[in-house]
Amino acid sequence: SQQGEEDPQALSIQEGENATMNCSYKTSINNLQWYRQNSGRGLVHLILIRSNEREKHSGRLRVTLDTSKKSSSLLITASRAADTASYFCATGHTGTASKLTFGTGTRLQVTL
Amino acid sequence: DTGVSQDPRHKITKRGQNVTFRCDPISEHNRLYWYRQTLGQGPEFLTYFQNEAQLEKSRLLSDRFSAERPKGSFSTLEIQRTEQGDSAMYLCSSSRRGGTTNEKLFFGSGTQLSVL
């Protein structure tokens, strides 16, 4: 079953604009990760934020985590056409020691 | 290429046939995972190995599914008596067990299964 719900399901923006995707989850987490998937390909890890962290940056990516609201957001600044992909949040849970539970994904389209 | 590799990339089979997929993880990774992804959905966990031991299986993994990881290296996922509902992308990923749990996953490109 999917742990997270992502919002919006689809997002279309123009190159240079910022894209914000949100993820909500249901149960306590150890960490939350964001992955990117190009059509028909495997997933690529983008960034990991631990439950005791509130914000993390990596290049043009900014991730926030609010454990009280069980939510996270991914901001991509100055988007490029090459950012067109699906983006998934995935949660890791204390005690499971292994699997990640993925959300339903946001499909981002960046147009020229 | 030192990434996770999966074979085949595509598989078309008739209902009732058996299929087997192979995954070669990154060589120094001792954890290997299988996920299934249907169109428009996120990946769903199927099973997990640490070295050669299969430590966790999802309820999604019916008795028609079996996974192995002999010698803790490559892994195979077999589906017996395939059904149309088995049509999906089967993703393999690997990770290295570090000081904390849930290290980031490295994914292969997946095997797209179509059951006719």
Q: Is the per-residue pLDDT at A2 higher than 90? A: no
Q: A98: pLDDT confidence band, cut at 50, 70 and 90?
A: low
**Multiple choice CATH, A5-111, 2.60.40.10, 3.20.20.140, 3.90.1010.10, 3.30.1520.10:** 2.60.40.10
Indicate the residue of B43, B50, B109 with minimum beta-carbon distance to A102: B43
Q: Give B52-60's long-range contacts (Cβ < 8 A, gap of 24+).
A: B55/A98, B56/A96, B56/A98, B56/A99, B60/B36
pLDDT top residue among A104 and A1: A104
- Domain segments of chain A as ranges: 5-111
CB A109 within 8 A of CB A12: yes
CB B41 within 8 A of CB A105: yes
Beta strand extents in A8-104 (DSSP E only): 10-14, 19-24, 31-37, 43-50, 55-58, 61-66, 71-76, 85-92, 100-102
Best of B59, B104, B109 to mutate (most A CBs within 10 Å, chain A): B104
Quote the pLDDT of residue B45: 94
Q: Is the per-residue pLDDT at B69 higher than 90? A: yes
- Mean pLDDT (chain B, rounded): 92
Quote the pLDDT of residue A6: 87
Average pLDDT over residues A55-81: 97
Q: Is the per-residue pLDDT at B112 higher than 70? A: yes
Q: Count interface pairs A-B at CB distance under 8 A.
A: 74
Average pLDDT over residues A65-92: 96
Indicate the residue of A4, A43, A99 with minimum beta-carbon distance to B48: A99
Q: B13: pLDDT confidence band, cut at 50, 70 and 90?
A: very high
Q: Which two tokens stand for residue B81?
A: 């008596």
| B103/chain A closest Cα distance in angstroms | 8
Indicate the residue of B31, B42, B109 with minimum beta-carbon distance to A88: B42
Q: Is the per-residue pLDDT at A11 higher than 70? A: yes
